[in-house]
Amino acid sequence: MSEVDMRKQHFHLPEGIIYLDGNSLGPLPKKAAERIAQTVTGEWGDLLIKGWNEAGWFYQPAVLGNRLAPLIGAPDNSVVLGDTLSIKVYQALAAGLKMRPDRTVILSDTGNFPTDLYMAEGLIKLIDGDIELKVVPPEQVEDHLDESVAVMMLTQVDYRTGRLHDMASLTRKAHDAGAVALWDLAHSAGALPVDLEGSRAEFAVGCTYKYLNAGPGSPAFIYTRPDLADEAEPALSGWMGHASPFAFDMGYQPSPGIERMRVGTPPVLQMAALDAALDVWEGVSMHEVRARSIELSELFIREVESRCPQLTLVSPRASENRGSQVSFAFEEGYAAMQALIAAGVIGDFRAPDVMRFGFTPLYIDAEDVLKAVAVLEDIMTNRTWDRQEFKQRAAVT
Ligand SMILES: *Cc1c(COP(=O)(O)O)cnc(C)c1O
């Protein structure tokens, strides 16, 4: 058995459920439940305010940054945790714009996650400058890299289709055009090997509740290329990013290094969960995870295409152009997904018609994939989805 195969036992996976939505919210690592309980009673309960020093709460954003860094190919002291991904996008984008004051374009693509684009819109409105958010189809990004582009802001893996950008190549092209590169690794971290340092990208951000399994509301991460870490302007000048927060100076002085990207009080309980979630990754090779994820995805595509002709693949067919999820379009995709969930196979749905399935080799194996396809085939063949109860849209899809 390989290291990857041995991880399933570390997760709490409800009986009878096949979980193909770890790309949206990773399952609970058993140790995270224990660690949170221990942090609540043993640290918050018993140490009270002393927890900041004695339990190291204050240092967790940077300590966990160093634990997470190898998973995204980042060096020591280049990653810090905190806040939510939307906020980290905002900070990185603002810092990138500051580095190219004479340029006027933020370049992104239509495969980006809406909140990234919304944060850019909000920032543009706030600075009230002459900045334009240009959103082009993913395959046209490089054609729009010219001397007007201040920041190329992309999400490496498209949340809807799983389409994977070539980070090294696009970063090189952005740099050739003189632009700053900002990568959102929300669907990359814990899904595939990332060589952040090798790419020379200036900034990267991502979340920890998807493939990294740190739980709902767990903190986001931000990376600044080390040679820029002392000059990047954090935009959100909170006290935890101050050079000496407990001097309580009247004026703001950013901390040296990546810690200036901290904003306010870190979410201590979620950090405890993240710490335990990262334990599960110890000794796991991202290259092996990637190889397994490709095997599982290929198996799923092959089986679904031969057994469920009603569904159309919308993910790239070539595995090298795909992240760790597979999406199929089906007109009644929402109802079909609800029927599937009711039958114990959990994926999710993205408007207008995309059924999304995440492949997470730490706790999903080929047997799970075959079982899931059998259930899907049954639902499609018998039109089980065609019931009113499955068509009622919930707030979160
Ligand atoms: C999941 C995801 C987000 C979510 O942002 P939050 O602030 O954590 O809610 C943002 N961007 C991308 C690309 C995502 O995939």
First to last CA, the chain: 36
pLDDT score recorded for residue 325: 97
In this structure, is residue 48 part of a structural domain? no
**How far is the centre of ligand 1, averaged over its atoms, from the C-alpha of 378 (Å)?**
33
Measure the CA–CA gap between 302 and 328, rounded to whole angstroms: 12
* Domain end among 247, 279, 311: 279
In this structure, is residue 172 part of a structural domain? yes
Decide: pTM greater than 0.75. yes
CATH number at residue 367: 3.90.1150.10
Tell me, yes or no, whether 334 and 239 share the same domain. Answer: no
In the numeric block, which tokens belong to residue 337? 């997904």
Tell me, yes or no, whether 93 and 197 share the same domain. Answer: yes
Atom of ligand 1 nearest to the CA of 88: 7
Tell me, yes or no, whether 88 and 134 share the same domain. Answer: yes
pLDDT score recorded for residue 1: 65
Tell me, yes or no, whether 17 and 73 share the same domain. Answer: no
**How far is the centre of ligand 1, averaged over its atoms, from the C-alpha of 91 (Å)?**
14
In this structure, is residue 127 part of a structural domain? yes
Closest CA to 156 of 138, 177, 133, 174: 138
* Domain end among 279, 299, 315: 279
List residues with catalytic annotation.
113, 184, 209-210, 356
pLDDT score recorded for residue 395: 85
pLDDT score recorded for residue 274: 98
CATH number at residue 182: 3.40.640.10
Task: Please classify residue 245 by burial: count the beta carbons closer than 10 Å to its beta carbon, then call 0-12 exposed, 13-18 middle and 19+ buried.
Answer: middle
Measure the CA–CA gap between 28 and 5, rounded to whole angstroms: 17
In this structure, is residue 159 part of a structural domain? yes
In this structure, is residue 233 part of a structural domain? yes
In the numeric block, which tokens belong to residue 27? 């399952």
Tell me, yes or no, whether 260 and 297 share the same domain. Answer: no
């114990």: which residue's tokens?
344
Atom of ligand 1 nearest to the CA of 24: 1
Measure the CA–CA gap between 213 and 211, rounded to whole angstroms: 6
What DSSP line would sit under 195-235, residue for residue?
-HHHHT-SEEEE-SSSTT---TTPPEEEEE-GGGTTT---S
DSSP state of 59: G
* Domain end among 249, 279, 309: 279
In this structure, is residue 41 part of a structural domain? no
Owning domain of residue 71: 56-279
Tell me, yes or no, whether 187 and 289 share the same domain. Answer: no
Task: Please classify residue 45 by burial: count the beta carbons closer than 10 Å to its beta carbon, then call 0-12 exposed, 13-18 middle and 19+ buried.
Answer: exposed
Residues of the chain with pLDDT under 50: none
Tell me, yes or no, whether 10 and 118 share the same domain. Answer: no
């990207």: which residue's tokens?
261
Instruction: Tell me how many domains the chain contains.
Output: 2
Task: Ligand 1 pocket test: pick from 113, 156, 218, 350 the residue with the most ligand atoms within 8 Å of its Cβ.
Answer: 113
Task: Ligand 1 pocket test: pick from 159, 160, 167 the residue with the most ligand atoms within 8 Å of its Cβ.
Answer: 159
pLDDT score recorded for residue 77: 98
Closest CA to 6 of 303, 363, 314, 318: 363
